[in-house]
Amino acid sequence: RLFMGGGDPDANPRLRAAVDKALANNMTRDTLNRAIARGVGGDEDSNMETIIYEGYGPGGTAIMIECLSDNRNRTVAEVRHAFSKCGGNLGTDGSVAYLFSKKGVISFEKGDEDTIMEAALEAGAEDVVTYDDGAIDVYTAWEEMGKVRDALEAAGLKADSAEVSMIPSTKADMDAETAPKLLRLIDMLEDCDDVQEVYHNGEISDEVAATL
């Protein structure tokens, strides 16, 4: 299924994030409702299922690929082809999943760090991270993302995005040789029609990025 957890956005944080993203991209409500019906099995012609693939990419990068497919054989062939073309290996279930945690991520492109941190932690957020460019990410238990975002909005703090993501516990540093290969692999995976999300723990420093 596309939307694990049911078709009610208020009870399904992942679905709610997808709904908000679709509406922000000007999808009509009618089209969205049909997509939700298909995603939760309400469409009799739908036999789509969510499939998670795991593997290792260039430089020992851990990669998780979330797919939505009606044909497992087609999907795994495309994913395996991308790995083999870019010096990676498709692994077995559980081979890298232990390196990731499912989290809610509420993002602000800019904002007052102290105000957001106080409101987020009071609402039950697990962590708040501020970046050099002023962007702020609020991390939550994935089931709590909607509640935390609602609390932030009630405090006048409207996020730029909110999504359920897989956050790596460790990073794999990429050098000038492995970074282009990793980026090519990610591009090839994302070009697969069945691939919905690609998560990885590759880290490309500013110095390496400047050489690409």
Q: Which CATH class is domain 49-98+170-209?
A: alpha beta
Please report which confidence band the pLDDT of residue 153 belongs to, taking 50, 70 and 90 as the band edges.
Answer: very high
- Decide: pTM greater than 0.85: no
Closest CA to 200 of 179, 46, 210: 179
Mean pLDDT, the chain, rounded, equals 85
Check residue 30 and give its pLDDT.
Answer: 65
CATH for 110-159? 3.30.70.980
Phi and psi torsions of 127, nearest 5°:
-160, 155
Query: Would you say the CATH fold of 110-159 matches that of 49-98+170-209?
Result: yes
Average pLDDT over residues 117-128: 94
Which of 49-74 are b and which e, b meaning 16 or more Cβ less than 10 Å from the residue's Cβ? bebebbbbbbbebbbbbebbbeeeee
Lowest mean pLDDT among 7-21, 138-152, 186-200: 7-21
**What are the boundaries of each domain within the chain?**
1-47, 49-98+170-209, 110-159
